Amino acid sequence: MTKESEHETRKTRIDKQLQAAGWKIVHYSAKLDVRSLQCHAVEELPTKNGPADYALFYGGKLLGIVEGKKIAVAPKNVLDQAKRYSEGVDNTIGDWRGLRVPFLYSTNGELIYYLDIRDSQNIRRQIGAFHSPEGLNSILTTNRTASINWLLNNPPDNQYLRDYQKLAIAAVEKGISGGKHKMLLAMATGTGKTFTTVNLIYRLMASKYAKRVLFLVDRKSLAAQAVTAFASFETPRKIKFKDEYELYSQRFKREDIEDEDSKEKYNPAVMPNAYLTEPDDAKTFLYVCTIQRMAINLYGREAVTEEDEETSDGDFNKLTIPSHAFDVIIADECHRGYTSKETNVWRSVLDYFDAVKVGLTATPASHTAAYFGAAIYNYTLTDAIEAGHLVDHDAVAINSDVLMNGAFLREGEEVGLIDTETGRELIDRMEDEREFTTTEIEEKITSPDTTQKIVSELKTYADAFEAKYGRFPKTLIFAANDLPHISHADRLVTVCQQTFDRGDDFVTKITGNPNVDKPLKKIKQFRNRPNPKIVVSVDMLSTGVDIPALEFIVFLRPVKSRILWEQMLGRGTRKCNDIGKTHFVVFDCFNGTLIEYFKNSSYNFPIDPPGSDTVTIKELIDKIYNNEDRASNAKRLVKRLFRIDKSMSGKAREDFSKFIPDGDMEVFAKGLSTFFSKYR
């Protein structure tokens, strides 16, 4: 334990933090005219209850009190001392229940706690940095009561919003009105998180609650996808979002952001650095950015340990950004690096800004909830399938003689390591990681004989699918690795090209390997063009990427994470009415043992083992009639009817119109789902 005194902590730590935020430190003297102070932190300001360590003056007004303690002292409860000093100050700007200074801080030089005492409902919270003088004055002069009342009195009414999306937006706005600063929004993959988010952001801006909004992602491909979606959003005024409010992003290559086949070309404006370094209340904008870039902007390039596709453009460096630069931060796919062991600096990015933070995820986990809190709204995959918004799946086991049984040694948990000298918390590892030895499994699954055997069997299923539906299924294969000279992904591409024998463009690789040419462009081609039909990836397409036409997902990668498993499966759930997609197929190339392992641990994406669903529709109806596990069998029936609806001919609909209105099986299935939900 350090022997550092309070005086040493103040001089070597707290003074520097205040100065970094823009405060000039002066010592109190009887001759000091506080009315002339503009951006000053006055040491030892006398009060009736003792001297305050620092008093923050802006424009001659006392706005804040900071109580400093030595680094060995936990600062949270020390805030009560700052309260006591605020009661003993004369001639201040107001009186709130006997407290006469609106903004209070306590710190040990590492942790900072903050309280806005003006609203009795506010509670103390940890912040990453002191507010700048301008930022503190902005908080003082901004009255958000009218904005919150507008949000509560004008519920979401966009005609294209689904009911659950409206409920999600209302939940966030209710949380904001209740003073929440961290919220978690859980919505299944494919249920429109981005569309929900852009509606939420627009409402926050229209109500004037938020003027500066940051949308954080952890991949440039997701940033490009998001900024394009935001730009094209049509506001209630019947104009594009980008034409009503300023919209910025980091720099992209033209092929990253544009679709070659699109008639409408869009090149997003690059964020001016001044918008970050000199926040202006007169400007209202949305900034889409990768968290890697923001980490470098805050902490320098040493903050990101490895140069990769997200950071390699080299057009950005460390900036001096005040903590009030944003009013609201939306953290997309927040189950990933925002709270995991390998990227504590990314969590520091969120902690640094004093803003309302909303985490978006399809796969809530304990480490995510530990940061954002329990989900304020959760729309699950099962909910979405039962409502007909997503498609169901089949599972196929491919015999590769490679088993996952016994590979997982132990389930890890999130470990919060507290530095006993500073109080800082470090996240040691993600909640769902399972440590296991992959060498033997990878050697078996990546052997040439095994690869050829699996691809040949996959071709049998693909040919049968094409014969039945008249189209080759878009296929995503997850390889074990993409290592130089021994790349499993490269070998799969070669074997697939030779086995399917449909030309060089039929199969391609999309990974994070720097040797992959224009990966974002390839993702767009996979989504929008006839070729490639088969893509081999490792992790670049595992989460976040939207490929609605995807119908086959093939696992040749030994997955160890429940969250990653659910995200990978989620690539196939999206509907695609253009091709009449009825379902997608999961291929477990570990003899079904991968699915079997996750059957009990995967609560957000329930998946039955291959071959387990042999019950006919008639048998399901009989079971429901006889009240045999009615809730479960009703769900299975509804899923079957949704799938049937996608493949019904006009003649079939005409025949069914004698029994259900217009022969509309989808509407009928939704009605059944609503009916049975009352009896769960």
Largest interatomic CA distance in the chain: 95
pLDDT (0 to 100) of residue 476: 96
Residue type, 634: A
Q: What is the tens place of the pLDDT at every residue in 462-479?
A: 999 999 999 999 999 999
Domain boundary among the residues 87, 108, 141 is at 141
Residues 181 and 223 grouped into a single domain: yes
User: In this predicted structure, what is the pLDDT of residue 602?
Assistant: 52
Highest averaged pLDDT of the listed ranges 456-460, 610-614, 629-633: 456-460
117 and 230: one domain? no
Measure Cα distances from 491 to 74, 438, 525 in Å: 55, 19, 22
Last residue of some domain: 386, 405, 435? 386
Residues 402 and 550 in one domain: yes
Query: What pLDDT was estimated at residue 258?
Result: 53
Buried b (16+ CB within 10 A) or exposed e, 522-551: bbbbbbeeeebbbbbbbebbbbbbebbbbb
For 136-161, write each residue's pLDDT tens digit.
Answer: 999 999 888 999 999 999 999 899 99
Cis peptide bond upstream of 532, omega within 30: yes
Give yes or no: residues 354 and 458 share one domain. no
Q: Do 137 and 198 reside in the same domain of the chain?
A: no
396 and 380 together in one domain: no
> If DSSP codes are grouped into helix, strand and coil, which group holds residue 27?
strand
pLDDT reported for residue 341: 47
Domain match, 170 and 265 both: yes
Tell me, yes or no, whether 292 and 225 share the same domain: yes
CATH number, domain containing residue 310: 3.40.50.300
Residue 282's closest CA among 411, 138, 388, 175?
A: 138
Domain of residue 643 covers 617-677
Note whether residue 608 is domain-resident: no
Same domain, 102 and 120: yes
pLDDT winner (highest mean) among 271-275, 559-563, 645-649, 673-677? 271-275
End-to-end CA distance of the chain: 56
Which run of H or E residues covers position 246?
Answer: strand 246-249
pLDDT of residue 87: 95
Q: What is the mean pLDDT of residues 648-666?
A: 77
Tokens of 240: 């594009």
Residue 609 lies in a domain: no
**Per-residue confidence (pLDDT) for residue 437, from 0 to 100:** 46
Confidence of residue 611 (pLDDT cuts 50, 70, 90): low
Instruction: Judge if 518 and 375 occupy the same domain.
Output: no
- The pLDDT tens digits of the residues spanning 291-321 come to 888 989 998 887 776 555 555 555 678 899 9
Mean pLDDT confidence for 272-284: 93
pLDDT in tens, 497-525: 999 999 999 999 998 888 888 887 888 89
- In this prediction the pTM is 0.78
Shared domain for 128 and 161, answered yes or no, is no
Question: Is the distance from CB of 288 to CB of 249 less than 8 angstroms?
Answer: yes
CATH number of the domain enclosing 29 = 3.90.1570.30
Residue where a domain terminates, one of 335, 357, 386:
386
Query: How do residues 382-422 score in pLDDT, each as one tens digit?
Result: 888 888 888 888 889 898 888 775 444 334 333 344 455 55
Query: Would 265 be classed as within a structural domain?
Result: yes
Tally of domains in the chain: 4
Residues 363 and 403 in one domain: no
